[in-house]
Amino acid sequence: MTMSGHETWPDGTFVHQLSDAERLALLAAGTPMRFEDDQILLMQGDAGDFLYVLTSGLVKIIVAAESGVQTTLAIRSRGDLLGEFALLDNKPRTATARAAGLVTALKIGGTAFMALASRSPELQATVTRYVLGKLRASTDRRAAERVWDAKERLAQVLYELGEQRAQRDSDGMIRIPLTQSELGDLAGVAVSTAERVLKDLRKQGVVSTRYREITIKDMEYLDSIRFPR
């Protein structure tokens, strides 16, 4: 798999924010990797001596409590970094990263990544903005959970996932390889509530569901729920 610094990368992702020269240097430093559905890329508690640049597919970020209960906290996709927190603070991984469908990525060792960053103030600044952006998004999500109802929260998450997928299938639909329970985790609502809202959205023709897959049929309608007019 040969990656070019001139490829199109989704807006807002780490790779998109780099200049062509820095992007090319970053991609050249990586070793291509391929992960099958449900395969683990990173394990909570492991040492953080490398990171990934995601080049295709979706990855679930999952945190396990001491009780063993697992919660899906975020989704990462093409152009995102994966595993940079542990690399930057030299502490164990705080979450497990698991492939949701086929995933490809570039694996970059910690020494190689830090060497790139040390030679490039631009790369250092982009890393800082990217990490702060993740923290800001987490804060915004927590604030929204206090004022939005369940339908608005689920619509927001579905819309964001639809944007991350970017390209629609030939039939114009966007297929997200997640369970209804995982979607509920991402939106901060109970599984029963997620199932009820999705049932309503199915009746309206906005989504369809099957085993471990949610298909978005109407992004415009989801957008109208997020921001009622």
**pLDDT one-digit tens code per residue, 200-219:** 999 999 999 999 899 999 99
Rounded CA separation 143/5 (Å): 36
Whether residue 62 has pLDDT greater than 60 = yes
Tokens representing 142 are: 């927590």
The residues pairing with 75 across neighbouring beta strands, listed in sequence order, are 60
Whole-number average pLDDT of the chain: 88
Residue of 31, 28, 76, 87 whose CA lies nearest to 54: 76
The phi and psi torsions of 135 (rounded to 5 degrees) equal: -65, -40
Whether residue 2 has pLDDT greater than 80 = no
Q: In the prediction, which pLDDT does 214 show?
A: 93
Instruction: Indicate whether this model's pTM tops 0.85.
Output: no
> Tens digits of per-residue pLDDT, 72-124?
888 899 999 999 999 888 899 999 999 998 999 999 999 999 999 999 999 99
Show Cβ contacts of residue 8 under 8 Å, excluding neighbours closer than 6 positions: none
Q: Are 185 and 161 in contact (CB under 8 A)?
A: no
Neighbours of 183 (CB within 10 A): 25
Residues of the chain with CATH 1.10.10.10: 148-226
Tokens representing 14 are: 């780490």
CATH for the 148-226 domain, from 1.20.5.50, 1.10.10.10, 3.40.50.1580, 2.40.40.20: 1.10.10.10
Determine the topology of domain 14-143 in CATH.
Jelly Rolls (2.60.120)
Tokens representing 149 are: 């109802």
